[in-house]
Amino acid sequence: MPAPSLEEQVEILMQGTEYGDRALQEAMTAELRERLILARKEGRPLRVYCGYDPTSSDLHLGHTVTMRKLRQFQELGHTTIFLIGDYTARVGDPSDKNALRPQLLEERIRENGRTYAEQAFRILDRGKTEVRYNSEWLSKLSFAELIRLGSNFTIQQFTTRENFRLRWDRGDAIYLHEFFYSIMQGYDAYSLQADVQVGGTEQLFNILTAGRKIMEYYGVRPNIGVLLGILPGTDGVIRMSKSLGNHIPLMSTADDLYGKVMSVPDAAMMTYYRLLTRFPPAQIAAVERSMQSGTLHPRDAKMQLAREIVAIYHGTEQAASAEEQFRRVFQREELPEDIPVLEVKGAPKLADFLAENGLAKSRSDARRLIEQGGVRLDGVTLKNPAAPVSPQDEPVLQVGKRRFVRLKKSI
């Protein structure tokens, strides 16, 4: 297969980008094209990085959007750097938050950083990825140098940012150390001598203002910002977030991952195509045209999407198996082949039983599921949260759309 042309490379690398301003998007596209030409003349790959603050231990599909873009740069022969923000995590990025981020303990940051890197290699080519920690240079930054870096910015530049402005208008505290974050991230770009920094749209100030300004201050070519759209969660509207419960864990089983992607509303489907798949822009555009013309049913388009995402993380065989499982359970209304057995001791109340066995997040969540008709026993909808669970003949309990357990009375 022939290597992509320059214009094809630019199209691939800018797919899924959002800047909120057409002129800015065109400027970044033009700069990327020029930098690719320059790198070819200099006989070197571009240096491309994205930073990840290890604020939690588990990643979800929302985190993988930027990793997928790094992988595209890798496949085109460029040097990619997976930067673990073990030092910036001490401050916490305020860019997408309307409240102060809690500061993490150093031990937790180190442990989270190790798990981040391992999970990232489900997408990135381990042999072509540099893993760096920004404590390498930020821990050595002198106070005198921080003063000089700070002199490049005004307080107004920070307080006019939307997230800070909302807190200011509410009368909430804005702490001085939060302003350091953008400066620290800009110093990361300089320290890595980056040509390109990948990030979400909430990183516009950090990358295109702070990062470029600091690199210019040190007399080097400013990096190019490849800013990607935000992935909505399974509700199709709000940004994917573990705290909101609308996330799809990266470590999901093949069956669970397939089912969760299928639960995403049709309106968000093309965003998932652009941000999460390996498909080239022309193929994605063809899917969208086919749905608009009516030649492709949205269900079939979503099944193709789910199959592709599962294949990325579990391989094509498990993707095919997950699709067959989905068809069996949800389209043919059959039971899964492998149903775990759960022993029942005594005769606990239904809501208590669900919560205590991890079939619901809490008793209140269990009651809500029951009252909304989301719990069935051998196909019969259960309506009473206080009903005793006393199984006979090992019935199948279904909770929600995808959870099945076979109940067995404990002897």
CATH for 254-331, options being 2.60.120.260, 3.40.50.300, 3.40.50.1220, 1.10.240.10: 1.10.240.10
- What pLDDT does residue 97 have? 47
Helix 316-326 and helix 298-314: axis angle, to 10°? 140
- Report yes or no: 48 and 66 within 8 Å, Cβ to Cβ: no
Is 333 a residue whose pLDDT tops 70? no
Q: In the predicted model, what is the mean pLDDT of the chain? A: 87
* pTM (2 d.p.): 0.76
CATH code 3.40.50.620 for 6-228: yes
- What pLDDT does residue 194 have? 96
- CA 406, 306, 122, 224 dihedral sign is negative
d(CA 117, CA 126): 10
- What pLDDT does residue 103 have? 54
- Report yes or no: 264 and 234 within 8 Å, Cβ to Cβ: yes
- Report yes or no: 85 and 53 within 8 Å, Cβ to Cβ: yes
CATH topology of domain 341-409: 3.10.290
Q: Hey, where are the domains in the chain?
A: 6-228, 254-331, 341-409
- What pLDDT does residue 2 have? 77
Which residue would you say has higher pLDDT here, 384 or 34?
A: 34
DSSP code for 121 = T
d(CA 118, CA 104): 21
Q: Which residues pair with 341 in a beta bridge?
A: 406
- Report yes or no: 82 and 70 within 8 Å, Cβ to Cβ: yes
Distances (CA, A) of 175 to 55, 85, 178, 259, 306: 19, 20, 6, 42, 43
